[in-house]
Chains A and B, each alone.
Chain A
Amino acid sequence: QSALTQPASVSGSPGQSITISCTGTSSDVGSDNLVSWYQQHPGKAPKLMIYEGSKRPSGVSNRFSGSKSGKTASLTISGLQAEDEADYYCCSYASSFTWVFGGGTKLTVL
């Protein structure tokens, strides 16, 4: 159960697009559509932003999109806004009712 690998930080200016990567193994990220992404503002509970790799829950802005290539999943945020500044975590179902999170990425909106 090794944590998924995410960059510690990314930054962008308002209106720009950024991408956060999440690298795992063939048993988790590389296997089927098992990746979800969460946004967490300071002092708040995490919020589901993307599930099954690329699907958005109702109410989540279409500025957020997910994709996958091989063992690497990605979260792209387009048209950056100040309120997007937060920590972002990827997560993958692994097997036998176990999950693994990434280390988290701090997004700074310049």
Chain B
Amino acid sequence: GAVVSQHPSWVICKSGTSVKIECRSLDFQATTMFWYRQFPKQSLMLMATSNEGSKATYEQGVEKDKFLINHASLTLSTLTVTSAHPEDSSFYICSASGWGLADLSEQFFGPGTRLTVL
């Protein structure tokens, strides 16, 4: 149990376009989802936290108008990178916690999405 999926697993886009990444909890209700970004050979940096039905809380330095997060249901959160630029190229990972888990606070990670902006 506790499976989190992400789609797509990788995406290549042109500079200036927008890209949507989906994160789904497959066997539990994700009351909270987290979005991380990881540059090569670096650590995971939390971008934002979203609770179902509420606006996301963004970490300092993360532009909320550029990284749009929607968590409209208990099984789906989306991250849209708007007007993507090459510096947005990174590995984006979501995680989820919530009802149906033995530990409500434990986070389960998706497989990640590799974004390359040309």
Same complex = no
B-side residues, CB < 8 A to A, are none
